[in-house]
Amino acid sequence: AQTVTQSQPEMSVQEAETVTLSCTYDTSESDYYLFWYKQPPSRQMILVIRQEAYKQQNATENRFSVNFQKAAKSFSLKISDSQLGDAAMYFCAYSAGTASKLTFGTGTRLQVTL
């Protein structure tokens, strides 16, 4: 069974600084997708970024980028120039290529301080 592990329950970053959230996963599949979702206090699940396992290039979306290390099964999220609005729970998630259901990690709560 696939598992997703987020080892940092909480992280804190100062506004305008950079923070990296960690995620590791376990799978025997060769075709899969990895995601980061943001959940603000409103509880809505917002897709932040998506990575296809077959792509070597790391995905980027504006201030958000990932460091995808396939051999190490690691998928970290880097947030640059952190803003107060980035404060939220961040969930790492995995989806196998043949079935698109998501397996989530336990989440990392990110605080952004002035």
Residue 71 DSSP code = T
Contact flag: residue 108 with another protein (CB under 8 A):
no
According to CB under 8 A, which one of 45, 70, 74, 76 is a site residue for another protein? 45
Structure tokens at 3: 């598992």
Contact flag: residue 95 with another protein (CB under 8 A):
yes
CB of 84: closest distance to another protein in angstroms? 22
CB of 62: closest distance to another protein in angstroms? 17
- Cβ closest to another protein, residue 2 vs residue 67: 2
CB contact burial 49-73 (16+ within 10 A = b; e otherwise): bebebeeeeebeeeebbbebeeeeb
Contact flag: residue 27 with another protein (CB under 8 A):
no
d(CA 43, CA 69): 29
d(CA 22, CA 26): 14
Contact flag: residue 22 with another protein (CB under 8 A):
no
